[in-house]
Amino acid sequence: MTVLEAIQRSTEFLAKKGVDSPRLQTELLLAHLRKQPRMRLYLEFERVLTPAEVDGFRELIRRRGQREPLQHIVGSTSFCGFEIAVNRDVLIPRPETELLAERGWTFLNQLSTINSQPSTALDFGTGSGCLAIALACKCPTAEVYAVDISSEALALARENAARHGAAERIRFLHGDGFAAAPAGARFDLIISNPPYIPTAEIASLEPEVRDYDPRGALDGGADGLDYGRRLAAEGARFLKPHGRVMLEFGDGQAESLREILQQQMWIVEAIEADYTRRPRLMVARRADSPADEPSAARSQPG
């Protein structure tokens, strides 16, 4: 079987199984198996695969056909240019969360030009550690804390941080949200991609998400906003006067989340869109905090 024949047959198989972008998925798996860039496959279409390669590729395609995520099969995913290991213990980072990370490190870097002391950030529910790692690497002067209730997730997050030379600059905390924060701690930035899927909607998610992402990283309660309420109610005493909270949220939740924050005396500075132009990120500060910048966000999407 040639490389091209393997790609064509596997693409047809994955398409029948309902896998999105079956040709791309096939090529990525074959490139992973052969430890080469995907585009190099195009130069080797006529190359005959060895029996061992054929068997190995069939197994990878079988797993993907069962809707196991590509990222789990290959063991990692890219987030803001960082290779992040993932498994069943953590949520696979999504592209829209890269926008949240960028807003976070931009804010921290702006602070570093104003203040003489290091800025501080708390990643609330760190999972794979992707947000904390991006902040630590993109803002080298920041002190980053990362909390998660899952010890398995924290173990993987520590491995990811070590891979990118950030292990010494991120303090990983095991516990339930703010209860794990050091006594008296206050942060310039509280950032979070919390669980925000309404409980009743989880069963209708794609199998790659429903069956492989940890439920605790998905389930946001009846309306998906349980963690938004918690951050709104508890976050103020952990935030410095000029601090910001930056959150990711689900489809259709923007106005409800805004109302939750406003009821707890927060001012929503911005609601920003993701790559599909859906409202996805929210930036807020305390109503009694100084309004002078650094600006944490851009304008609300149209």
What six digits make up the tokens of 215? Answer: 């439920």
Output the pLDDT for position 290: 64
Most distant CA atoms of the chain, gap in Å: 68
The residues, ordered by sequence, that sit 6+ positions from 49 with a Cβ below 8 Å of its Cβ are: 1, 2, 3, 6, 57
Show the CA angle centred on residue 130, arms to residues 128 and 135, nearest 5°: 145
Output the pLDDT for position 297: 42
Q: Which residues of the chain have pLDDT under 50?
A: 295-302
What six digits make up the tokens of 9? Answer: 């047959």
Contact 128, 153 (CB under 8 A): yes
Output the pLDDT for position 114: 80
Output the pLDDT for position 278: 96
Tokens 């946001």, residue? 220
At 52 the three-state DSSP class reads helix
> Within its chain, how far is the Cα of 114 from the centroid?
29
Radius of gyration for the alpha carbons in the chain, expressed in angstroms and rounded = 21
Output the pLDDT for position 298: 43
Kind plus residue range of the DSSP H or E element containing 230:
helix 226-234
Output the pLDDT for position 294: 53
> Within its chain, how far is the Cα of 174 from the centroid?
19
What is the C-alpha to C-alpha distance for residues 175 and 187, in angstroms, rounded to an integer? 17
- Please state the pTM of the whole predicted model: 0.90
Output the pLDDT for position 118: 85
Residue among 118, 117, 164, 166 at smallest CA distance from 146? 166
Buried b / exposed e along 69-108 (16+ C-beta atoms within 10 A): bbbbbeebbebbebebbbbebbbbbbebbbbbbebbbbbb
What is the C-alpha to C-alpha distance for residues 61 and 93, in angstroms, rounded to an integer? 22
Output the pLDDT for position 239: 96
